[in-house]
Amino acid sequence: MLKNICKTFCFQRKYRSIISLSHERHRLLSTEDKTREHVKSAEISQPIESTFESINRVLKDKSLKDLLNEASSELESIGSGAQELTQRDINESIAKRDQKRLSLRPKTAPEDTTVMLFPGQGSQFVGMGYHVIDSPNVKQMFTIAKQILGYDLLDLCLNGPIERLNQTQFSQPAIFVTSLAAVESLRQSGSGDVESCVATAGFSVGELAALVFAGALSFEDGLRLVKIRAEAMQYATELVPSAMITVFFNADARINFACNAAKEWCLRKGVQPEYAVCSVANYLFPHCKVVAGHEEAISFLQMNAKDFGIKKTKRLPVSGAFHTSLMAPAREVMREALKRIRIDVPLIPVHSNFDARVYSNADDIRKKLAKQIVSPVRWEQILHIIYERPKETKCPKTFECGPGTSLLSTLNMVHGIARRSARHVPV
């Protein structure tokens, strides 16, 4: 039955926008046997609390210190061995990927399929939206966004100011909406590339765009989640002085040792133990990661980079230590929000930032989307799973849908052959 819905889904996408498609998706699923797994896991949407209400309730039940310690303990319990997926893990995921694609598209050559990638925070710029605003359905998307967000997102995207656009609570919704607008633009080109998609992934907040594209979330619920996620993360950044840096390092670099040394430095400087955080936040490509944590820890790393085999560091223009335990308050808020919306099984494989694997069901999405906020983004591992294949097998075409081309640059460093058939869909 799910295979039939997939066929209907792909057919509908040729003619339907993301907004109207989400309504059709719910109608199709609601007519099926209610005992089916993917229908049982889909709940009727409930009103999502405001970020303020949710934060107050979360902090009423647990202190900030308890939240931070809990998140830190969870990450440590995973074990250092989980920091990198083993080759066996990657091979198993690749086998499952190939089996899934064969069941959906048994006669389609790899080069005739596509992969859609969605960028994360930091890719925003004033003027984004200009290239897609005249595409059918895009204006409707921005109209809905204005109703949900309570401000004119299109005006902010087109005219700025950049200082406001760069703030987390504004940049995340802006990237989410313009990324899906890019999909609409690509769809209207008539190339058939949207309909040929066999896998999708999004970086950090881009993962929510990927889930909407894959039919797991409606556009409206996806945007509501982005709104509360962004506001909660902004709130968390204001609690502790923190930062993020990209580190470029040698093969013999000791990144984990460097992070532990930075934590010890924080403690010697009088930072409370629950705030003394320094850990890998993003796995980008070989010999390049993003490290995030307390401001004292990041400053220590920058000053002592060469002692740990780090060749170069670069500060990111963000206000907090995203994807670390310092985001624990935001994770709790996201958990509560995810309980209140309808989530369906993705009709296209979506790779999770949390463990790089394809989401299996609605409960899987709920758990990992919340964990993602305090866990590293395993982007390098995701790219390996999507693109690894025998040398004689061609790669699918790749499209980065959204502002910037950072994901294409990263793809070039991980899988140069796949990058040759990749392009950006401008916004």
Catalytic residues, by residue number, are 204, 323
Dihedral of the alpha carbons of 167, 236, 294, 60, in degrees to the nearest 10: 170
- SS3 category, 356: coil
Distance CA 92, CA 44 (A): 34
Distance CA 72, CA 92 (A): 29
- SS3 category, 378: coil
* Residues 6+ away with beta carbon under 8 Å from 73: none
Beta bridge mates, 315: 245
| Residues of the chain by 3-state class (helix, strand, coil), percent to 5 | 55, 10, 35
Q: Which residue, among 305, 278, 280, has the nearest Cα to 290 in the 3D structure? A: 280
Strands (E), 203-277: 242-249
Structure tokens belonging to residue 323 = 């994807």
Dihedral of the alpha carbons of 122, 126, 127, 133, in degrees to the nearest 10: 70
Distance CA 145, CA 122 (A): 20
Q: 95, 388 in Cβ contact below 8 A?
A: no
Strand pairing of 114-118 and 197-202?
parallel
By CB neighbour count within 10 A (0-12 exposed, 13-18 middle, 19+ buried), where does 309 fall? middle
Q: What are phi and psi of 251, to 5 degrees?
A: -65, -30
The arrangement of strands across the sheet holding 288-294 comes to 278-285, 288-294, 242-249, 310-315
